[in-house]
Amino acid sequence: MSVRNVAIIGLGLLGGSIGLAVKEHAPQITTTGYDRDPDVRAKAAELGLAGTICDSAQEAVREADLVVLCVPVGAMEEAARELAGHLKDGAIISDVGSSKQSVAEALTRALPGHTIIPAHPVAGTEQSGPDAGFASLFTNRWCILTPPEGANEAAIASLSEFWSALGANVELMDAEHHDLVLAVTSHIPHLIAFTIVGTASDLEEVTRSEVIKYSAGGFRDFTRIAASDPVMWRDVFLSNKGAVLEMLGRFTEDLTALQRAIRSGDGETLHELFSRTRTIRRAVIEEGQDDDRPDFGREDHL
Ligand code: NAP
């Protein structure tokens, strides 16, 4: 069954982008939207992020055959609880949360007996809020669905069709594996960026103004990631604790090995690693997941 009415709960970067992407790529689908913040609802109405902006979550989901929760991971359970008793029969409940095992558990606790197919579009920016959304956010990005065992096949097919219509490539994955993969491709890189930017701003022998002035040496690329939404990222680390700690253990061992190579003047180890990492960058570009111009196409690159 194709999705005809979608309710978007949470109208920030992800929710707003879904609304705009539906309008652009699948205009036959009607959208309703709700956010708990009245200012966000007003902004969403002004920007046309959904066809109808509702003043309650219950009203937004009443006619929906797909509900997509686009709130921070830590708010998923509360947002889902508000929907209990107001959903249409057979409605698919999904989300866009960055970690999947804990969200699946939260949604199942909040809405037992409903068709729950968690999802994670691996697409985003460091911006948040209703102004940050744009229609092409999901174009040629992956959307990972993590249906629980025995999930309704027709619901999985409808959700896959929905994300494909928004321009995404869809993949199915086990929630536990998703959390491990995303720990290394997204969560740890964010943790490293938060750390390096924090460390640089706490130094005493290098001034803050020097850090900012000479940031084009590499630091500024970390500041983009480290500017990401604090609530969202607090929730990601608290909800994907196991996988993040496991990957962080591996990362710390590798960092220690590099420390040893630098201390002992082992240039061969450094050169071998840096050559391998360069090929990964090439592969990311070949897959169409980034811009191949030097320094991301900035005009003033060094
Ligand atoms: P965002 O721009 O901050 O938007 C989230 C919105 O949800 C805010 O307006 C927030 O309002 C609202 N909200 C919070 N609790 C709510 C509730 N109970 N009911 C209704 N609305 C509620 O965040 P985002 O970047 O779109 O992220 C949303 C989700 O997408 C997160 O789960 C995140 O893990 C996931 N995700 C993000 C990215 C990314 O790059 N940003 C990428 C992929 C997936 P308040 O401000 O009042 O709390």
* Phi then psi dihedrals of residue 239, to 5 deg: -90, -25
Most informative mutation of 20, 54, 70 for ligand 1 (most atoms within 8 A of CB)? 70
| Mean pLDDT rounded to a whole number for the chain | 96
Q: State residue 250's pLDDT score.
A: 96
Distance CA 134, CA 289 (A): 17
Q: How much is the average pLDDT of 232-248?
A: 97
Within-domain flag for 115: yes
- Indicate the residue among 126, 150, 173 that finishes a domain: 173
- Indicate the residue among 154, 173, 192 that finishes a domain: 173
**27 and 126 together in one domain:** yes
**281 and 184 together in one domain:** yes
Contact (CB, 8 A) for 215 and 281: no
When divided into structural domains, the chain yields a total of 2
Q: How much is the average pLDDT of 193-207?
A: 91
Q: How much is the average pLDDT of 218-235?
A: 95
Within-domain flag for 266: yes
Q: State residue 294's pLDDT score.
A: 86
Q: How much is the average pLDDT of 160-164?
A: 98
Distance CA 180, CA 194 (A): 20
Distance CA 205, CA 203 (A): 6
Q: What letters, b where the CB count within 10 A reaches 16 and e where it falls short, cover 244-265?
A: beebbeebeeeeeeeeebeeee
What are the structure tokens assigned to 286, written together?
Answer: 């070949």
Question: Which ligand 1 atom lies nearest to the CA of residue 121?
Answer: 43
| Residue 79 in contact with ligand 1 by CB distance below 6 A | yes
Q: Which of 38, 66, 63 lies closest to 53, judged by CA? A: 38
**46 and 167 together in one domain:** yes
- For residue 134, pLDDT over 70 is answered with yes
**37 and 141 together in one domain:** yes
Distances 8 to 104, 189, 292, 295 between C-alpha atoms, Å: 18, 29, 34, 36
What are the structure tokens assigned to 35, written together?
Answer: 């956010």
Q: State residue 1's pLDDT score.
A: 65
Within-domain flag for 300: no
- For residue 302, pLDDT over 80 is answered with no
Range of the domain at 279: 177-289
**143 and 30 together in one domain:** yes
Within-domain flag for 294: no
What is the C-alpha R_g of the chain? 21
**87 and 187 together in one domain:** no
76 CA to centre of ligand 1 in angstroms: 9
**153 and 40 together in one domain:** yes
Span 280-290, pLDDT tens digits: 999 999 999 98
93 CA to centre of ligand 1 in angstroms: 16
Contact (CB, 8 A) for 8 and 31: yes
Span 80-125, pLDDT tens digits: 999 999 999 999 999 999 999 999 999 999 999 999 999 999 999 9
Residue with the smallest CA separation from ligand 1 atom 41 is: 124
240 CA to centre of ligand 1 in angstroms: 17
**69 and 181 together in one domain:** no
Residue 139: helix, strand or coil by DSSP? coil
Q: What is the CATH number of the domain that holds 90?
A: 3.40.50.720
Within-domain flag for 296: no
Q: State residue 14's pLDDT score.
A: 98
Q: In what order do the strands lie in the sheet with 5-9?
A: 52-53, 30-34, 5-9, 66-69, 92-95, 115-116
- For residue 63, pLDDT over 90 is answered with yes
**Beta-carbon count within 10 A of 184 CB:** 16
- For residue 301, pLDDT over 70 is answered with no
Q: How much is the average pLDDT of 216-243?
A: 95
- Helix (H) or strand (E) holding 31, with range, is strand 30-34
Within-domain flag for 298: no
* Alpha carbon of residue 233 to chain centroid: 10
- For residue 300, pLDDT over 80 is answered with no
**154 and 37 together in one domain:** yes
Q: State residue 168's pLDDT score.
A: 98
What are the structure tokens assigned to 58, written together?
Answer: 């219950």
Within-domain flag for 302: no
Sign for the pseudo-dihedral over CA of 260, 266, 270, 275: negative
pLDDT above 70: percentage of residues in the chain: 99
Q: What letters, b where the CB count within 10 A reaches 16 and e where it falls short, cover 194-228?
A: bebbeebeeeeeeeeeebeeeeeeebeebbebbeb
Q: What is the CATH number of the domain that holds 272?
A: 1.10.3660.10
Residue 116: helix, strand or coil by DSSP? strand
Q: State residue 133's pLDDT score.
A: 97
| Residue 229 in contact with ligand 1 by CB distance below 6 A | yes
Q: How much is the average pLDDT of 49-75?
A: 98
**63 and 164 together in one domain:** yes
**141 and 46 together in one domain:** yes
Q: Which residues contact 176 (CB under 8 A, 6 or more apart)?
A: 101, 243
* Alpha carbon of residue 251 to chain centroid: 22
Within-domain flag for 122: yes
**Beta-carbon count within 10 A of 52 CB:** 14
Span 137-154, pLDDT tens digits: 999 999 999 999 999 999
**185 and 283 together in one domain:** yes
What residue type is 289 in one-letter code? Q
- Indicate the residue among 147, 173, 199 that finishes a domain: 173
